[in-house]
């Protein structure tokens, strides 16, 4: 049946159930959202009205929440006289409906019916539940802005693959993307840069036109609501104390004014690690508390991501004000100063019923109490955090950074990093083998990251994400065997059918034979790294 991600248990019977014009939906309590979604999506693809029906009628899709199942667990039964989708919660029902859509074939993902199409489901019973509670994708909209309609489309693509966390990277040196009403210059100034480096930061090429954009608060509310209808949690990222030049360009007093003329800074137009970081002052803390107050109003997520990565300490070492702050607080060095900075917002968020999560650099100088860690520099940060009793999301750069190149061939567009083939991603294991069972319980799940320095538009994001994101989704959802024992050939066979679904969804994926001519970027320098990536 070519399902992706692979269900836990499937039993197939002979025959099919055909959806006729009278096919309707009985939506039990808690399943109204899934019924609404099916009428909008499946109704558009098939032309069927899918009216409300009672359970004692024929030709009915029964949606129900069933006590005794885990929250995201579902049971899908296609019987001769009707279809049943049961879930442990509304989320489980929704994932079961997604599986049913796949069983109907690729055309079920289109937006209008094709003439003469017959809709039928194989008689089957599927029992399924996810391995991890955090099955995430990070999308960087700071380096290259993705307009709202593109973000909504990506939420649909995540939902189609049973991914349930959207990590929204909203601020960086190259752009500030979320409206903060208390500080309007963050978007008036910080959301636009004059030009953009094309290719790796060593490239001589520039796109000599302004680039930018931002989401209004109403845009964010729409994105969050759209995600919630699809049982996806949006986790916002507001970077501190590094990756902050766009904010400093808008409000120069946020920078280390005793070291650099921050009034001369503009939104950064190239890539790499930026030396201009936030000043560790009370003014900076109050400013970002104002930012986070509005962020909390917009995003109801348990976790708020504060970055914390790649913060050079040179300006703090040179700053009399920063050195005085270190002495005042009785800190040992600049690493502990960053830990104090992160710890402040950990306490601030905790007091408001939220949890801080940051990149694994927040381990340096002492791990903030109550913080969770996104382990990106390999597995080591996640191992250290889990052993210290902190929750972890595993997203090691060498394994699941999907901006890394997919092949060693010369035609790969702007080749970055290690070669991470489809098979490499399929054999990724999120839980480090050295963790004990108690320590492993701190691994909330896993996440694939899409950094967009060399992804200038939606088509480039599609190319880097797919089909590898389908492999990642199976790793995150399905209870696969050990990496060396996984049936990659079987996955490839199922993927051959899945390409039809991606085609129907308009995804500009990388074909298995290599990039199409228009997907290449000849003569645009990248930064390929040879050899296998370190597995640590």
Burial of residue 518 (CB within 10 Å: 0-12, 13-18, 19+) is exposed
- Does residue 374 have a cis bond before it (omega within 30 degrees)? no
Which of 280, 233, 249 shows the shortest CA–CA distance to 176? 249
Q: How far apart are CA 240 and CA 351, in angstroms?
A: 19
Known catalytic membership, residue 173:
no
Which element (helix H / strand E) includes 11? strand 9-18
Set 59, 310, 336, 411: catalytic member: 310
Q: How far apart are CA 90 and CA 221, in angstroms?
A: 21
CB 165, CB 134: distance < 8 Å: yes
Widest Cα–Cα separation across the chain:
78
Set 84, 167, 200, 243: catalytic member: 243
- Say how many C-beta atoms besides its own lie within 10 A of residue 493's C-beta: 12
DSSP three-state, residue 235: strand
Q: How far apart are CA 487 and CA 386, in angstroms?
A: 29
CB 445, CB 136: distance < 8 Å: yes
Q: Where are the beta strands (DSSP E) in 185-291?
A: 192-193, 196-197, 206-207, 211-212, 233-240
Burial of residue 270 (CB within 10 Å: 0-12, 13-18, 19+) is middle
Known catalytic membership, residue 179:
no
Set 26, 73, 140, 172: catalytic member: 172
DSSP three-state, residue 338: helix
- Say how many C-beta atoms besides its own lie within 10 A of residue 343's C-beta: 20
Q: How far apart are CA 306 and CA 338, in angstroms?
A: 12
Known catalytic membership, residue 243:
yes
Hey, which residues are catalytic here?
172, 243, 310
């Amino acid at each position: 049946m070519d399902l992706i991600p692979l269900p836990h248990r499937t039993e197939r019977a002979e025959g099919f159930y055909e959806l006729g014009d009278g096919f309707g939906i009985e939506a039990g309590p808690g399943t109204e959202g899934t019924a609404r979604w099916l009428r909008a999506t499946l109704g558009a693809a098939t032309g069927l009205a899918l009216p409300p029906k009672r359970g004692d009628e024929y030709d009915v899709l029964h949606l129900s929440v069933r006590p005794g199942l885990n929250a995201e667990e579902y049971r899908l039964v296609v019987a001769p006289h009707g279809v049943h989708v049961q879930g442990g919660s509304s989320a489980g029902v929704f994932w079961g409906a997604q599986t049913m859509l796949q069983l109907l074939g690729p055309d079920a993902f289109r937006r209008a019916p094709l003439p003469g199409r017959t809709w039928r489901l194989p008689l089957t019973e599927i029992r399924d539940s996810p391995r991890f509670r955090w099955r995430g994708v990070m999308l960087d909209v700071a380096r290259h802005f993705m307009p709202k309609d593109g973000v909504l489309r990506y939420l649909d693509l995540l939902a189609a693959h049973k991914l349930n966390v959207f990590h929204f990277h909203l601020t960086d040196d190259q752009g500030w993307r979320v409206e903060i009403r208390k500080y309007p210059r963050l978007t008036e100034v910080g959301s636009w840069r004059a030009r953009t480096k094309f290719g790796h930061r060593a490239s001589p090429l520039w796109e000599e036109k302004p680039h930018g954009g931002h989401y209004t608060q109403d845009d964010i509310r729409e994105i969050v609501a759209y995600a919630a209808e699809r049982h996806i949690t949006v986790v916002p990222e507001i970077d501190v104390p590094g990756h902050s030049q766009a904010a400093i360009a808008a409000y120069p007093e946020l920078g280390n004014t005793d070291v650099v003329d921050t009034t001369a800074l503009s939104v950064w137009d190239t890539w790499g690690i930026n030396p201009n970081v936030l000043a560790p002052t009370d003014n900076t803390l109050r400013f970002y508390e104002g930012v986070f107050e509005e962020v909390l109003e917009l995003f109801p997520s348990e976790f708020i991501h504060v970055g914390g990565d790649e913060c050079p300490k040179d300006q703090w070492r040179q700053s009399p004000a920063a050195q005085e702050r270190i002495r005042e607080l009785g800190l040992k060095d600049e690493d502990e100063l960053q830990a104090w900075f992160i710890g402040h917002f950990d306490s601030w968020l905790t007091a408001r019923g939220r949890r801080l999560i940051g990149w694994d650099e927040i381990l340096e100088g002492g791990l903030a109490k109550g913080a969770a860690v996104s382990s990106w520099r390999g597995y080591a940060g996640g191992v250290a955090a889990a052993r210290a009793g902190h929750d972890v999301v595993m997203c090691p750069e060498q394994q699941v950074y999907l901006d890394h190149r997919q092949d060693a061939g010369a035609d790969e567009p702007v080749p970055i990093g290690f070669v991470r083939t489809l098979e490499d991603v399929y054999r990724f294991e999120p839980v480090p083998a050295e963790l004990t069972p108690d320590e492993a319980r701190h691994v909330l799940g896993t996440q694939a990251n899409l950094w967009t320095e060399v992804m200038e538009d939606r088509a480039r994001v599609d190319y880097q994400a797919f089909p590898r994101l389908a492999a990642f989704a199976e790793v995150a959802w399905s209870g696969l065997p050990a990496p060396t024992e996984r049936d990659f050939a079987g996955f490839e066979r199922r993927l051959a059918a899945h390409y039809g679904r991606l085609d129907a969804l308009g995804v500009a994926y990388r074909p298995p034979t290599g990039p199409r001519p228009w997907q290449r970027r000849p003569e645009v320098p990248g930064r390929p790294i040879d050899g296998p990536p370190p597995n640590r």
